[in-house]
Structure 1
Amino acid sequence: MPGRSAPGWPGSRTAISSSPIAATSLPAAPARFKGRRQGTMEYRADKILEYTGGITVSELWDCNARERAGRAAIEDLEVNLTWLEAKRWIDRVALGLLELGIKRDDVLVVQLPNCIELHLLRVAGEKAGIRCVPVTSNMRKRELEHILGQTDAVGAVVPWMYRGFNYVDMIHEIRPSLPNFRHIFLIGDKVAEGLFSIRKLAAEPLDEKYPPDYLEKRRYRRDEVSLICHSSGSTGLPKLVQYSPAACSATGKWFSEHLRLSADDVVAAIAPAARGPNLPVYFAAPWAGAKIVMLPWSEAREALKAIEQKKVTVACLVPTQLAMMLEEAQAGHYDLSSVRAWVSAGAYFPPPLMAEVEKKMGGTVLNYYGSMELGAVTSSALNDPDEVRLTTAGRPTFGTEVKIVDDEGQEVENGIEGEIMARGLCSSSGFYKDEKATKQVWNENGWAATGDMGLIDEGGNLVIVGRKKDVIIRGGQNIYPAEIEALLIDHPKVQDVAVVSMPDPVMGERVCAYVVSVKGEKLAFAEMISFLRQKNIASFKLPERLELMEKFPTVADGYKVDKKALRQDIAEKLSKQQRGSK
């Protein structure tokens, strides 16, 4: 079969070895299940149960509290907790939410920057039977009103102020349209009448009031919906994707093994993401008992200082952040010797930039491929040759299958480009309360079209060519923006680049390059063309316009370039030029 499988599907490699959590702490793994149809929810549940032994992420926190009670568990820029202290925090907050009348399967939206509350609230929610919806802190009224309304949320956790923006005022504006919304929770010390303090909940010794097994009766079971995440919103308002404790736990176990995590590692969330590049932070670190560091992103300099100070070993972030950190690292002096892996996801990472990061900053760059709906689909490995790590998206993750199909949906041979389709044991179970949208993405056998173009090489590695919708068709010839971006990012004056189509009455579409120049530099059109010609690419692929920007617009997740906005920008500029010439 031309497609590629990973552990968990019939005929795939053998299961990966056990994780660092002691075997005596975990439920016994069941015998091998048979008779389930591949791709069904029942089949997925059975295979994950074999792999993880049925333990959930919240149970891992309990295990670590018993086995590593006094070891550092999690910290941010202000607070640090041991595993035992973290468990106490989780239990008290979970019980506090229940005492406020929040019921099983009620929804709590959490809109916070990277901090311990962002991480621990989802664990508390899993233990209390309350669904958690982490939302990136850059979302505003339109997006948040949509998420609160779609989930029928009963409450939200926010900072009062963050980076000059008042989140409480925003929620008060939205509140009249939300009939079931009852609670606003704040982090930090400032609390007003009618609002609730997460810090106060964590300080209240409710764990002494209830029997030790009280939360065990409330805890979400492995196949229930416990976590709801939003998509990037690149096609409009964010879509809501639901995940089970089983899928999250299996993802964590695989990443823990893939990254060779141990209790001596320090795993940092630098990306402002609920999942994506931060999957190892939320789900893998607890499997290994590794220390977690939550770092809010402000600028490259502050991130590098924090990595140095906290001796981070595995840093999770997006390519844009790494590009900015690389520029700063070359200008300043930072000790990054503790970092052994830079885990990146969420956007295309040009090979020259990856190589430059490893050369100038040390560590190994692993850029994995996935989506909010499918989770982590493929990843290169720490021991892969440079050629594989830098030029491919690697091989399938645990329980994942990947295949390439043509325009008719027929699977093609390795080496032939087509649309990437995938299915996985650890993918989401669909869109939250939207069966119609779920059926539009996943077929009856569990396969989902990604909208990305790619091929599978001779080594079984996935090679991403570009987004299907981003392909530029110039006079009938296909041009993949990622190819040009990978070349231009290597120019010494270019910090970031995005290539999009611009409308043309003769050719249909032409190529436009948007560039963010390195500080103090300004790329000229002639310089760009001369540089690309030296790369020996076909002349029809050369950009026919250059637009310089100080910063690219991003979609709702805050880190993916909004190419739709760039296409609209260039179309409007061309339209104005045409009107002006008449």
Structure 2
Amino acid sequence: MLSGVTPFPSDFARRYRERGYWQDRAMRDDFRAWCAEHAERTALIDATRSVSFAELDARSTNLALNLLDLGIGPGDRLVVQMPNVIEFVYLHFALQKIGAMPVLALPPHRFREMNHFVGLAEAVATVTPDVAKDFSYTEMVGRLRERHACLRFGIVLGRAPEGFVSLTELIDRPATRAPSDMDAIVIDPDSPALFLLSGGTTGVPKLIPRTHNDYLFNSRLAVSVCGVREGDVLLDVLPIGHNLPLACPGLQGFLGKGCAVVLHTSTAPEQVFPLVERHRVTHIHVVPALLIRWIESPLAGRFDLGSVRVIQSGGQRLQPETRRRTQALLPGCTVQENFGMAEGLLMFVRLDDPADVRLETVGRPICPDDEVMLLGEDDRPVAPGEVGELCCRGPYTLRGYFRADEHNARAFTPDGFYRSGDLMRQHPSGNYMVEGRKKDLINRGAEKISAEEIENLILMHPAVQNVACVPVPCPTLGERNCACVVLRPGRQLAFAELVAFLEQQEIARFKLPERLEIFDGFPLSSFGKVSKKDLVVIVAERALQAA
């Protein structure tokens, strides 16, 4: 087992095997089986290309052999920061074939986050685009390589400057190694297949190890509750490094059923709607902010979207009115809400749940061995119908973040339940309702922002004496980040100046505050802590007065 990974206790692992959840197969074994069974079917589609399962297997094998030849092999970690392109899937399959472990970062991440990921994972390589708009990934990777001796390779999708390796060339160049070199690699199904990122309440995100056994089960179980049939087509426009579009059921779940996946890098209606019409898309993953944007678009009535049967919404609570408007626009479609986490547990509203249950809840666990407790402030289970913190454990829920012993001591109960920080109530139907959160997170369009991380950076500004970042409601994104600031005597701070200062800290743009409020002092709780609940009310009142 890789140092820093918390294994499942042996008695739980035995039970999960006995009940068939874990099948002791490496992900590459299932990938290979899918490609053989569905060889002639279309596996992947983008705006200009389509790839069969046989082609996916051949190209990912060729890439895997060239990665071995480059010097990347079993147990190596690579930080992968790729958009929704077919090359991502070639890479995903190739890394599993050689037992290498991707850390799935997101395209908006910048030097601060990537520096943490590379250092914590001791990554041997990054895989990034060359540039995006005005941002140079290769310049960033060059600086990372200066700081981390472990980082031997910068692999680039696009133009590879001197000292970098072209991903396209690795895919296309005929391999000189024999497939037997790859097949001889032994992979432990209990080892991490990949690392996902946590929402992160303290500093930058933690790394979540997902094992071959648990992540294959994750996709297999998720696809079973989404009404997937032969010939169905998934549209993946949410960032593919997220758990939902990758494996809930996502790319993995649909490929496992022999179904095609359409990948696209834009969420703009004028690009997405023609893809839905052309490829007869049946399933789409969304977050509420994206769904609102689509149903409000005047283009919605100009394309044939009638093939869509299931729109799966996650990341934030979906308002009932948005669901009603969607189903009025697409009468044959069900908006299926789910609640999930990269750490594991998945809850889905079932497609045959009563209408009121589908409207009011985020679903229920999808595995009989998903154990759920709602704990009160005293760390005891709350009474039925009462609100408590969601704590969970099960066959695909982590037992510890990677190399984070101190944090793990707080994030898990003594008997191994993960403390999610989400406040929930159980509905009389047995499904669950989200009632808020205990963790100090801002949920902007389903991207989770650590208030503490941004507060610590703002405190570095010479004009700032104290700061509290709070969520303010937004009709489309759910929440936006408002920086509430107490200034040092005689100092001033403009919003544009604050944003420019934070941009110099090289963080993902979605974390930047979108509002600044200046205070003489902060309201305090009875314990003497800053009362963020009161700050939210005050900020809302100021907004009304300014309107």
Q: Does 2:285 align with 1:338?
A: no
Query: What is residue 9 of structure 1 aligned with on the other side?
Result: none
Deviation at 1:42, TM superposition (A): 4.8
Residues 113-512 of structure 1 aligned to structure 2 (within 5 Å): 113-188=83-158, 190-206=159-175, 209-211=177-179, 213-218=180-185, 220-278=187-245, 279=247, 280-328=249-297, 332-362=301-331, 363-373=333-343, 375-398=344-367, 399-469=369-439
Residue deviations 1:128-149 (CA, integer Å, cap 9, x gap): 0111111110111111111111
Deviation at 1:465, TM superposition (A): 0.7
C-alpha contact (below 8 Å) 2:285/2:312 kept by paired residues: yes
Deviation at 1:368, TM superposition (A): 1.1
SS of 1:191's equivalent in the other structure is coil
C-alpha contact (below 8 Å) 2:27/2:193 kept by paired residues: no
C-alpha contact (below 8 Å) 2:345/2:393 kept by paired residues: no
Q: Distance in 2 between matches of 1:456 and 1:343?
A: 21
Aligned-residue identity in percent: 25
SS of 1:383's equivalent in the other structure is coil
C-alpha contact (below 8 Å) 2:42/2:260 kept by paired residues: yes
Q: Distance in 2 between matches of 1:114 and 1:397?
A: 27
Deviation at 1:58, TM superposition (A): 2.3
SS of 2:29's equivalent in the other structure is helix
Residues 74-89 of structure 1 aligned to structure 2 (within 5 Å): 74-89=44-59
Residue deviations 1:374-394 (CA, integer Å, cap 9, x gap): x24311011112211221011
* AA at the equivalent of 1:210: A
Residues 39-50 of structure 1 aligned to structure 2 (within 5 Å): 40=9, 42-44=11-13, 46-48=15-17, 50=20
* AA at the equivalent of 1:434: A
Identify unmatched segments of 5+ residues in structure 2.
1-6, 452-467, 478-501, 523-537, 540-547
Query: What is residue 569 of structure 1 aligned with on the other side?
Result: 516
SS of 1:421's equivalent in the other structure is strand
Q: Distance in 1 between matches of 2:300 and 2:225?
A: 33
Query: What is residue 79 of structure 2 aligned with on the other side?
Result: 109
Q: Distance in 1 between matches of 2:399 and 2:173?
A: 36
C-alpha contact (below 8 Å) 2:21/2:395 kept by paired residues: no
C-alpha contact (below 8 Å) 1:242/1:429 kept by paired residues: no
Q: Distance in 1 between matches of 2:8 and 2:509?
A: 33
Q: Distance in 1 between matches of 2:278 and 2:186?
A: 36
Deviation at 1:310, TM superposition (A): 2.4
* AA at the equivalent of 1:193: E
* AA at the equivalent of 1:357: T
Deviation at 1:182, TM superposition (A): 1.1
Residue deviations 1:161-220 (CA, integer Å, cap 9, x gap): 1233211111112221111111111223x23332212222222332x7414x44233253
C-alpha contact (below 8 Å) 2:196/2:243 kept by paired residues: no
Q: Distance in 2 between matches of 1:133 and 1:328?
A: 35
Deviation at 1:276, TM superposition (A): 3.3
Indicate how the Cα distance of structure 1 residues 165 and 246 shifts in structure 2: closer, same or farther if over 3 A, else same.
Answer: same
C-alpha contact (below 8 Å) 2:292/2:476 kept by paired residues: no
C-alpha contact (below 8 Å) 2:28/2:97 kept by paired residues: yes
Q: Distance in 1 between matches of 2:352 and 2:38?
A: 30
Q: Distance in 2 between matches of 1:512 and 1:153?
A: 34
* AA at the equivalent of 1:288: K
Q: Distance in 2 between matches of 1:88 and 1:156?
A: 23
Indicate how the Cα distance of structure 1 residues 152 and 186 shifts in structure 2: closer, same or farther if over 3 A, else same.
Answer: same
* AA at the equivalent of 2:148: L
Residues 86-97 of structure 1 aligned to structure 2 (within 5 Å): 86-97=56-67
Deviation at 1:330, TM superposition (A): 6.4
* AA at the equivalent of 1:291: A
* AA at the equivalent of 1:437: H
* AA at the equivalent of 2:256: W
Indicate how the Cα distance of structure 1 residues 112 and 406 shifts in structure 2: closer, same or farther if over 3 A, else same.
Answer: same
Q: Distance in 1 between matches of 2:8 and 2:207?
A: 21
Deviation at 1:99, TM superposition (A): 0.9
SS of 2:96's equivalent in the other structure is helix
Residue deviations 1:21-58 (CA, integer Å, cap 9, x gap): xxxxxxxxxxxxxxxxx973551464157135334432
* AA at the equivalent of 2:178: Y
Query: What is residue 504 of structure 1 aligned with on the other side?
Result: none
Deviation at 1:305, TM superposition (A): 2.6
Deviation at 1:318, TM superposition (A): 1.5
Q: Distance in 2 between matches of 1:232 and 1:557?
A: 13
Indicate how the Cα distance of structure 1 residues 267 and 429 shifts in structure 2: closer, same or farther if over 3 A, else same.
Answer: farther
Q: Distance in 1 between matches of 2:475 and 2:433?
A: 26
C-alpha contact (below 8 Å) 2:110/2:507 kept by paired residues: no
Indicate how the Cα distance of structure 1 residues 295 and 112 shifts in structure 2: closer, same or farther if over 3 A, else same.
Answer: same
SS of 2:78's equivalent in the other structure is strand
Query: What is residue 28 of structure 1 aligned with on the other side?
Result: none
Deviation at 1:120, TM superposition (A): 3.1
Indicate how the Cα distance of structure 1 residues 430 and 120 shifts in structure 2: closer, same or farther if over 3 A, else same.
Answer: farther
Report how many residues are paired. 465
C-alpha contact (below 8 Å) 1:136/1:557 kept by paired residues: no
Q: Distance in 1 between matches of 2:14 and 2:237?
A: 31
Residue deviations 1:397-436 (CA, integer Å, cap 9, x gap): 2231212121111112321112221112111342122233
Deviation at 1:292, TM superposition (A): 1.5
SS of 1:51's equivalent in the other structure is coil
Q: Distance in 2 between matches of 1:466 and 1:282?
A: 30
SS of 2:24's equivalent in the other structure is coil
Q: Distance in 2 between matches of 1:324 and 1:556?
A: 26
SS of 2:302's equivalent in the other structure is coil
C-alpha contact (below 8 Å) 2:221/2:366 kept by paired residues: yes
TM-score, normalization by structure 1: 0.73
C-alpha contact (below 8 Å) 1:133/1:227 kept by paired residues: yes
Indicate how the Cα distance of structure 1 residues 513 and 430 shifts in structure 2: closer, same or farther if over 3 A, else same.
Answer: closer
Q: Distance in 2 between matches of 1:282 and 1:452?
A: 27
Query: What is residue 490 of structure 2 aligned with on the other side?
Result: none
Deviation at 1:335, TM superposition (A): 1.5
Q: Distance in 2 between matches of 1:202 and 1:55?
A: 25
Q: Distance in 2 between matches of 1:442 and 1:171?
A: 34
* AA at the equivalent of 1:348: R
C-alpha contact (below 8 Å) 2:110/2:508 kept by paired residues: no
Q: Distance in 1 between matches of 2:215 and 2:356?
A: 30
Indicate how the Cα distance of structure 1 residues 418 and 78 shifts in structure 2: closer, same or farther if over 3 A, else same.
Answer: same
* AA at the equivalent of 1:395: R
Q: Distance in 2 between matches of 1:430 and 1:146?
A: 18
Residue deviations 1:333-358 (CA, integer Å, cap 9, x gap): 22111111111211222122122222
